[in-house]
Chains A and B, each alone.
Chain A
Amino acid sequence: MPGKMIYLDYAASTPVDSRVLDRMREVAELNCANPSSTHAAGREAQAIIAEAAAQLAELLNVSPGSLIWTSGATESDNLAIAGGARHRTHRGKHLVTMKTEHKAVTDVFEALAKEGFDVTWVDAGADGLLCPDSFAAALRDDTQFASIMYVNNETGVIQDIEALGTICRERDVLFHVDAAQAVGKLPIDLGNLPVDLLSLTGHKFYGPKGIGALYIADRAGCHVEPILYGGGQQRSIRPGTLPTDLIAGLGMAAAVAATRIEPDLAHLRALRQLLWEGIRCVDGIRLNGDPGGFPGILNVSVEDIDGESLLLALEPLLVATGSACNSKTGEPSYVLRALGLGDDQAQSAIRFSLGRPTTRDEVEFAAARYRDAVAHLRKLAPDRAA
C-alpha cells in the first residue's frame, strides 16, 4: 500500500456517490432552464427540485415546504442564527451557544455580539458533552435563541438534542441545530425532535459541494429574516436562482442515505474499533471526546509529539489536525482546548474520519502508520527532562 494516498478525512468532505453523479449529469443535460421561469422547461426544473425536496424531507421526516435551499451549511448557519435572532428581538437580545461549535456558528454569534446582542458561551464537559442542566442554567428570561451542534466535527461528540430542544420549547427559545456532520449519517426524525431550525450540507454525506439546506419548522413564531436580498425566490427567505442539478444531487444523496444509515453506522463502528485497538497501545495516547460519539470520527492526542511533524510522518494518510476550516491558522484546536486539553495535547491531535468507502486494510495500515510515526519522532527527540 505505500505510495497510495489513503483518504481518512471524510468529516471534511466525502466523495460524491455514483448515483448522485448520474442524477446530476442527467439533470444538467436534460434541463438548463431557470426554475423560476414559467415556461415548460422552467416548470420541469421546478418539478425536479420538488422531487429532491421530497427525498430530503423523507430522510428528515419533515414536509418538503419546510426546507430552504442554500449554498451549504455555512450559509444555513448564518441564515438561521443571524436571521433567527434578528427576527426575535421582541423577545430579548440574549443568545446562547457552545464554545465547541464550528466557526460557521461561532463567528456569526461574534458578529451578532458586535450588533448589540448578548451571547452566553456554555462550556462542554471534558468529554465534550453539554450537560442539559448547565444549558438550562444559561437561559434567562430574555433568551430568545440558542444554537447547539448535533455532531462535533472534530471529536464526533453527539449532543442530546432532544433534551436541549425540550428545554428550549419550555422556555420559548428558538432552537437551531448545526447538523452538518449528522444528516445522512445518523437517523434524524425531525417530526419528533423539538428542533426549530436545522442546517445541513450535501458534501458531508456523499452529495455535491455548494448545496445545502435549512429546515425551518412549520410552527408559530418560527421564522428567520433574510440575510440576502434579490428576486424573491424561496418566499424571499433565501432569494437567488436555484441550481437544479446540485439540488437534484442532494436529493439523490438523501435518498441513498435513507437506505444506508444503519449499515454505514455498523461499518464505521467496526472500523473505528479496529483503528482504536490498533493505536491504543501507543504510550501517552488519549482519545478526545466522548467514546460513545459518532463512529466515523476518532480524535486522538499523544504526549510530547509535534503535531506538524506527526502529520507529515503519517503520509500517505490524509487526515486532519483539526477542523479543515480552521487548520490553516496553525493554532491548536479551540474545540480541544475547550475540553481541557493543554496546547501540547491539542497540538498533537489527529482526527481520523472514516467513511462508507473505507476498508479494513486501510484502517490496519493507518494504525500501523500511526504507531511507526510516533516511534520515529520519539527516536529523533531528546529526552523531555534535560
Chain B
Amino acid sequence: MSADPYNRKVRDSFAAPPHAGELAGGIDARVDAGDLRVEFAATLEDGRIAALRFRARGCPHVIAAAEWVCDYYEGKPAEALEVFPIARIMEDLAVPTEKTGRILVLEDAIQSLGRRLKH
C-alpha cells in the first residue's frame, strides 16, 4: 500500500478547521493565484493578533496550512507576520515539495495582511 498523502494534522484540519470562516470587524488580505484563492482576516488588541481567520480554495495541504498559520499567529504581535515559518509548515504537515509554491501563496497573503495591519 502506498503512503497516505495526508498526515493526521492535515486530515483533521481539512475536515474541521477551527479557524475557517469570516471575521466580523477584521482587516483582511487576499491573494488569488490561478485556481488557488486564500483570504486571511485579523483583529488586533494592544498590538497583538486577537483573532485570525481564513478562507481558502485549494488542495488539502493548502487548507491545512491556512489553519496552521492562523493557530500559529494568534496571540503574537502584528510584526510577527513579517516572518513566515514555511519550513515548519512544510515539515509539520508533510507537504510534498512540489506544492511549495502553493504554500508560498499563503506567505504572500500573510505578508499582505501584515502590511494592511500597519496602516
Contact = CB atoms under 8 A, between A and B. Distances in A.
A85 B89 CA distance: 53
B38 interface: yes
A354 to B, nearest CB: 24
A344 interface: yes
Interface of A: 304, 306, 308-309, 312-313, 343-344, 347, 377, 379-382, 384, 386
24 contacts: A304-B57, A306-B57, A306-B59, A308-B60, A309-B14, A309-B58, A309-B59, A312-B6, A312-B11, A312-B60, A313-B14, A344-B35, A347-B35, A380-B20, A380-B57, A380-B63, A381-B55, A381-B57, A382-B30, A382-B37, A382-B38, A382-B57, A384-B37, A386-B32
Interface in B29-57: 30, 32, 35, 37-39, 55-57
B17 A380 contact: yes
Interface in B76-104: none
Contacts of B20: 379-380
B56 A382 contact: yes
Closest 7 A/B residue pairs (Cβ): A381-B57, A382-B55, A382-B39, A308-B59, A312-B60, A382-B37, A380-B20
B49 to A, nearest CB: 19
Contacts of B57: 304, 306, 377, 380-382
Interface of B: 6, 11, 14, 17, 20, 30, 32, 35, 37-39, 55-60, 63
A146 B12 CA distance: 50
A321 to B, nearest CB: 12
A225 to B, nearest CB: 37
A93 B61 CA distance: 49
B37 A381 contact: yes
Contacts of B39: 382
Nearest to A348: B35
A380 B30 CA distance: 14
Contacts of A386: 30, 32
A50 to B, nearest CB: 38
Contacts of B11: 312
B63 A309 contact: yes
A309 B37 CA distance: 14
A381 B60 contact: no
Most buried by B among A308, A312, A313, A380: A380
B108 to A, nearest CB: 14
A380 B37 CA distance: 11
